[in-house]
Amino acid sequence: MNRRKCPLQVEQLEPRLALAGYQVVHNFVQSDGIGPNTLVQSGSMLYGTASSGGTGGTGNYGTIFKVGTDGTGFTVLHDFTNTSADGQNPIGSLILSGSTLYGMTSSGGSSGYGTIFEINTDGTGFSVIHSFNGGGNGGYERPLGSLIQSGSTLYGLTQLNVVNQLGDTTGTDGELFQINTGGTGFSLLYSFGNNTLAGSLVLSGSTFYGVDQNGIFHIGTGGNDFGVVYSYFGGGGLTISGSMLYVETSAGGTAGDGSIYQVGLDGTGFTVLHNFSGGSSDGGHGVGSLIQSGSILYGMTEYGGSDDDGTMFQINTDGTNFSLLYSFGIFFSSGTVPDSSLIQSGSTLYGVTENGGASGGGIIFSIATSAATVPPPWQNPTKPLDVNNDGSVDALDALTIINQLNSFGAHALTNPPVAPNVPPPYVDVNGDGFLSALDALVVINYLNTPSGNTATVRAHLLGSPVHETVRQSLEPFWASGTDSSTTTTVPEQSTRVLNQTYTAASTTAVPQQISKPATVTLPDSEFLSGQTNNHSLYETVWKSLEPFWESD
Give me the DSSP letters along 250-309.
SS-STTSS-EEEEEETTS---EEEEE---STTSEEEEEEEEEEETTEEEEEEEEESTTSS
Could you write out the three-class secondary structure of 161-221? EEECCCCCEEEEEEEEEEEECCCCCCEEEEECCCCCEEEEEEEECCEEEEEECCEEEEEEC
Stated pTM of the model: 0.65
Backbone angles phi, psi at 370, to 5 degrees: -70, 120
CA dist 366 and 15 (Å) reads 17
CA dist 94 and 64 (Å) reads 9
Contact 263, 250 (CB under 8 A): no
From first to last of its 552 residues, the chain has per-residue pLDDT tens of 444 433 333 332 222 333 447 889 999 999 999 999 999 999 999 999 999 999 977 778 999 999 999 999 999 999 999 888 889 999 999 999 999 999 999 999 988 889 999 999 999 999 999 999 876 433 457 899 999 999 999 999 988 754 433 343 444 568 899 999 989 999 999 988 777 788 899 999 999 999 987 889 999 999 999 999 999 877 789 999 999 999 999 988 999 999 999 999 999 999 999 999 998 889 999 999 999 998 999 999 999 987 788 999 999 999 999 998 888 876 677 889 898 999 999 889 999 999 988 888 999 999 988 533 345 788 886 667 789 888 788 878 888 888 888 777 888 888 667 666 788 889 888 777 788 887 887 777 666 643 322 233 333 333 333 334 434 444 444 433 333 333 322 223 322 232 222 222 233 332 223 233 333 232 333 332 333 333 334 444 444 444 433 332
Is beta strand 34-36 parallel, antiparallel or unpaired with respect to 259-264?
unpaired
The closest of 109, 48, 119 to 82, measured between CA atoms, is 109
CA atoms 396, 398, 401, 405: torsion sign: negative
Specify the amino acid at residue 244.
M
Contact 3, 354 (CB under 8 A): yes
**Separation in Å, CA 208 to CA 150, 157, 198, 341:** 11, 11, 14, 19
CA atoms 327, 333, 338, 344: torsion sign: negative
Beta partners for residue 303, in sequence order = 284
Domains, the chain: 232-326 (2.120.10.30), 395-548 (no CATH)
